[in-house]
């Protein structure tokens, strides 16, 4: 069985977020998919079932569980499909409970993913465990179906944050994102991000209960982060940087009908043969 490992949301190897991708004609046994994801020990392993050359189903597994939405592994899967499995320039992922994801590949290799917005609401009653787990001051807390989204005072606080992962783990499936305004570009971000673009926001993302202490680059959470900054900055097109040790860039655009476009690049790291 062929497997691909792709670095997503980057033009460089060893940056962005690595995801494994397996394309099949039929779903594998669920326990087998989970064991493969555990063996890979990446943030996500994506399994893609081909319907035809333009239509696919997709599922995502962390080392410990199946998740309902993963942006970077969708980008990685799209890269593999465009490279190896389809001559189409636009493909459609049929996703349980989330409808259709539309992905278009552009001439320069950038891929644009059309997702539903997962809008976050302002929280007035912040859980004590979240306050205790985070060490830096914050201005506001939002919540969507995926995570708490915590707005920090500065980009530097985002970079310096060292959360208590054991406390965050007690929050279970509700994950934690931290984010800050980056329109006054910080020197530290300029040195971290090799593409030297002007960023609108910076974030980090933690999911220890899912076996991912810090996710390198997270497409899914930006369907909640970007609407917050789009409103605050009065912009519909924003560029985001996720400031993990690997780092990655997401090009985002608010669309009509509660949809959002999240775009990025990817690089193939490895092709492998799984022996089952």
Instruction: Give me the active site residues, please.
Output: 44
Q: Which residues contact 81 (CB under 8 A, 6 or more apart)?
A: 23, 48, 56, 91
Among 91, 80, 82, CA closest to 2: 80
Among 150, 148, 71, 165, CA closest to 111: 71
> Around Cβ 170, how many Cβ atoms within 10 Å?
13
Q: What are phi and psi for residue 19, nearest 5 degrees?
A: -135, 145
Burial class of residue 68 in the structure, from the number of CB atoms within 10 Å of its CB (0-12 exposed, 13-18 middle, 19+ buried):
middle
Buried b (16+ CB within 10 A) or exposed e, 219-234: bbbbbbbbbbbbeeee
The answer to whether 269 and 10 are in contact (CB under 8 A) is no
Q: What is the rounded distance in angstroms from the CA atom of residue 9 to the CA atom of residue 264?
A: 5
The DSSP result for 227-249, as a single string, is: HHHHHHHT-SEEEEEE-SSS-EE
Q: What is the rounded distance in angstroms from the CA atom of residue 96 to the CA atom of residue 75?
A: 17
The answer to whether 217 and 247 are in contact (CB under 8 A) is yes
Q: How many residues does the chain have?
A: 276
């Amino acid at each position: 069985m062929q497997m691909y490992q792709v670095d997503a949301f980057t033009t460089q190897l060893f940056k962005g977020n690595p995801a494994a991708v397996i394309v099949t004609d039929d779903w594998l046994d669920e326990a087998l998919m989970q064991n493969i994801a555990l063996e890979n020990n990446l943030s996500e392993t994506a399994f893609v079932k081909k319907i035809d050359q333009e239509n696919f189903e997709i599922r995502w597994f962390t080392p410990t569980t199946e998740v309902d939405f993963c942006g970077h592994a969708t980008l990685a899967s799209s890269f593999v499909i465009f490279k190896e499995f389809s001559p189409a320039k636009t493909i459609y992922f049929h996703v349980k409970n989330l409808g259709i994801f539309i992905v278009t590949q552009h001439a320069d290799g950038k891929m644009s993913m059309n997702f539903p917005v997962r809008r976050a609401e302002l929280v007035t009653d912040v859980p004590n465990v979240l306050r205790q787990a985070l060490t830096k001051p914050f201005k506001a807390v939002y919540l969507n179906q995926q995570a708490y989204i915590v707005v920090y005072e500065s980009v530097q606080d985002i970079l310096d944050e060292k959360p208590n992962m054991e406390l965050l783990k007690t929050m279970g499936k509700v994950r934690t994102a931290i984010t800050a305004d980056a329109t006054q570009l910080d020197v530290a971000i300029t040195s971290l991000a090799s593409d030297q673009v002007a960023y609108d926001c910076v974030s980090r993302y933690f999911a220890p209960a899912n076996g991912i202490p810090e996710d390198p680059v997270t497409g899914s959470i930006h369907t909640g982060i970007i609407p917050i900054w789009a409103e605050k900055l009065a912009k519909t097109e924003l560029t985001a940087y996720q400031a993990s040790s690997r780092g990655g860039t997401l090009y985002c655009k608010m669309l009509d009908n509660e949809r959002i476009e999240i775009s990025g690049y990817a690089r193939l790291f490895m092709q492998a043969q799984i022996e089952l």
